Amino acid sequence: MRGLFFTIGLAWCIIANTGVMGAHAATISVAADTTPRIPVESAAARDVTFTYQDANYEQVALAGSFTDWVRIPLVKTGSLWSLELSVPPGEQYYRFVVTDRGETWDAIDPDNSTALNHPEHGWVAVVDFERKAEPDRRSSEERREKRRQRSQYRNEIKQELKFGSPDHLSGSYQRVDGLTLGFALNHIGQKGSLDPSVRSQFGYGFSSGRASVGLTILQPLTSNRVLSLKASLYDWTDYSDQTGIGSTENSLAALFLHEDYRDYYRNKGIRGSVVLEPANWLRLEAGVLAEEHDSLWAPSVWSIKKGDLTANPAIDEGSLRSALARVHIGGRFNHLRVVYEHSSPDLMGGSYDFRQITATARGQLELGDRAGFDVRLKSGTNLHGRLPAQRRYVLGGLGTVRGYAYQSLLATDPDEALVPGDREPYGGEHMLLGNFEYSFQLSGWMGMALFYDAGMAWQDRDADVSLNQLKTSTGLSFMPCGSDLRFNLIQRLDDRSSDPVFQLRLQRMF
């Protein structure tokens, strides 16, 4: 069965054409006397080399009017993706599609000043050999900075609203709703205007018979988008995303390996916030939310391995009324993010009483063109009261400390006996996690990484947190086909007599 999962994962890596919008520069160049890779029925066609700067992406593709909008993958060489195509005369449109961590964004060419919002194809860049260029009196630095800002703006909006390509279909498989199919209708407001950005989504679970719907609006209050209002309305199957495992990877694990790395509950609510972005490296958000949380019971959902999936754990049901604050300092791969949530019956009503703060530091250091060092440090704690199950910290498994079972890292109170009929301990009030990875390129088609993970969650809010209690693991990763597909060989360090664990991942660890 592992062989079957391996085959599906490898095929997925090869054929995946979805992507994440990047804010890195891309260029095109015209070759006069080369043989076109894709012939076009026109004697006046020219060969164009399209290039896109790499940032550890899984894949980059190109789609345009001269490809009938079919995505054609670029080839990665060093730190650059490139593709040569024949382009016919006249005005032609194109855009890039970049893959990263299982999500997709369309990326306009930030080095092409002709980008426009086409009425049929959305944001595209234009290439036209017959057009007479009008003089641009700006310096090359000013033009480059303007294009970089436009590309970065679209990237930030898509990450903020968490959506991929416009009007895209989606599917997943999990233990509560079974096969779930859905779609999203998205709109990105134009930069420099008060045009709002909108994400609407709908999904239906065929095993549970439940629908999930959501609407998010980001309304700028100033044309430079320094100040915005964000509002969301939703009624859906939700989960606490503590593992970082993507939907595709989790669906395959549920279907083939009898593993679902998410715990689900029903979340119906509304939230609103004010977003302040005084600089491209600083983002502040403050708001409130009102939600109703209910447990979901897993129906008889089929899995190839061992039949039905295990039951979905119950949550602490009730009404959540919270004040939220978020701070993000830095960029995508080098940042500090702090999230604070205050819930109290005395403050806003509701069923829960806690003050939770979680901080994540992420860093990436490039060591030349063939090597790099990545680190993630994460800490979370409850400052007051008791966390409900759906807010507790869960460690162990693919996206946290590799080599351990999901939810298995929990330091319990030895003096607290479990009363018959009570639930088994679930999650902790405190958490520490560290991930370190050194990666390098062995050849043009194979990379390798050395990693070290450490972490632990503590059940009791008053527990003495000690670094000696951290569980650790180390191992090797092999990364073929220039993508995020990884073959991990893991050894637990707390029990060196245990056998090494083999693990297949379809995305990066963090």
What are the backbone dihedrals phi and psi of residue 492, each rounded to the nearest 5 degrees, phi first? -70, 135
- Ranges of H-type helices in 210-246: none
Average pLDDT over residues 248-262: 88
CB 57 within 8 A of CB 14: no
Place 163 in a pLDDT band, splitting at 50, 70 and 90. Answer: low
What are the two backbone dihedrals, phi and then psi, of residue 15, each rounded to the nearest 5 degrees? -100, -5
Residue 51 has pLDDT above 90, yes or no: no
Structure tokens at 503: 């693990």
Whether the pLDDT of residue 40 is over 70: the answer is no
Instruction: Please tell me which residue, 439 or 145, carries the higher pLDDT value.
Output: 439
Between CA 336 and CA 363 the distance in angstroms is 9
The encoded tokens of residue 389 equal 């199950």
Number of domains in the chain: 1
Residue 57's pLDDT is: 82
* Residues 66-69: contacts with CB under 8 Å, at least 24 apart: 66/40, 66/92, 66/94, 67/38, 67/94, 69/121
Query: What is the pLDDT, as a whole number, of residue 367?
Result: 87
The answer to whether 509 touches 437, Cβ cutoff 8 Å, is yes
Percent of the chain residues topping a pLDDT of 70:
81
Asked if the structure places residue 137 within a domain, the reply is yes
Which stretch of 215-219, 366-370, 392-396 has the lowest confidence by average pLDDT?
Answer: 366-370
What average pLDDT is seen over the chain? Answer: 82
Prediction pTM value: 0.71
CB of 253 closer than 8 Å to CB of 303: no
> Strand 471-480 to strand 486-492: parallel, antiparallel, or no bridges (unpaired)?
antiparallel
Highest mean pLDDT out of 230-244, 299-313, 351-365: 351-365
Stretch (H or E) spanning 96: strand 92-100
Following CA atoms 294, 299, 304, 309 in sequence, which dihedral angle do they give, to the nearest 10 degrees?
50
- Each residue of 113-124: pLDDT tens digit? 787 888 788 888
**What pLDDT digit, counting tens, does each position of 329-353 carry?**
998 789 999 999 999 998 778 999 9
Contact 360, 377 (CB under 8 A): yes
Are the beta carbons of 133 and 114 closer than 8 angstroms?
no
Residue 2 banded pLDDT, cuts 50, 70, 90: very low
388 within domain boundaries:
no
Range of the domain at 123: 19-153
Query: Which residue type is seen at 395?
Result: L
> Is residue 367 included in any domain, yes or no?
no
Confidence of residue 294 (pLDDT cuts 50, 70, 90): very high
* pLDDT attached to residue 458: 95
CA dihedral 3, 8, 11, 15 (to 10 degrees): -170
The domain that holds 96 is classified in CATH as: 2.60.40.10
DSSP, res 101: T
Q: Give the list of residues 6+ apart from residue 379 with CB closer than 8 angstroms, or none.
A: 358, 359, 431, 432, 433
Mean pLDDT confidence for 144-164 = 60
pLDDT-derived band at 39, boundaries 50, 70, 90: very low
> Is 68 domain-assigned?
yes
Task: Compute the distance between CA of residue 73 and CA of residue 83 in angstroms, rounded to an integer.
Answer: 8
* Cβ-contact 184, 171 below 8 angstroms: no
The confidence band for 131, taking pLDDT boundaries of 50, 70 and 90, is low
Asked if residue 403 lies in contact with residue 475, where contact means CB atoms within 8 angstroms, the answer is yes
- pLDDT of residue 363 exceeding 90, the answer is yes
Label residue 30 by pLDDT band (50, 70, 90): very low
Length of the chain: 510
Place of tokens 């990884």: 486
Gap between the Cα atoms of 6 and 501, Å rounded: 15
Burial of 279 (0-12, 13-18, 19+ CB in 10 A): exposed
Q: Residue 31 falls within a domain, yes or no?
A: yes
The verdict on residue 42 lying in a domain is: yes
Q: Are 216 and 231 in contact (CB under 8 A)?
A: yes
List the structure tokens of 160. 């903020």
Question: For residue range 59-109, what is the model confidence (pLDDT) as tens digits?
Answer: 899 999 999 999 999 988 777 888 888 898 888 999 999 887 667 788 888
CA-nearest of 350, 286, 363, 340 to 318 is: 350
DSSP 75: E
Distance CA 85, CA 315 (A): 54
pLDDT band at 56 (very low <50, low <70, confident <90, very high): confident
pLDDT value for 141: 58
Whole-number percent of the chain with pLDDT over 90: 44
Q: What whole-number distance in Å separates Cα of residue 360 and Cα of residue 327?
A: 11
24-33, 129-138, 416-425, 474-483 — which is least confidently predicted?
A: 24-33
Please indicate, yes or no, if residue 197 is contained in any of the structural domains. Answer: no
**Type of residue numbered 6:** F
Q: Is residue 479 part of a domain?
A: no
Q: Is residue 485's pLDDT more than 60?
A: yes
Task: Report the alpha-carbon distance of residue 174 to residue 315 in Å, rounded.
Answer: 18
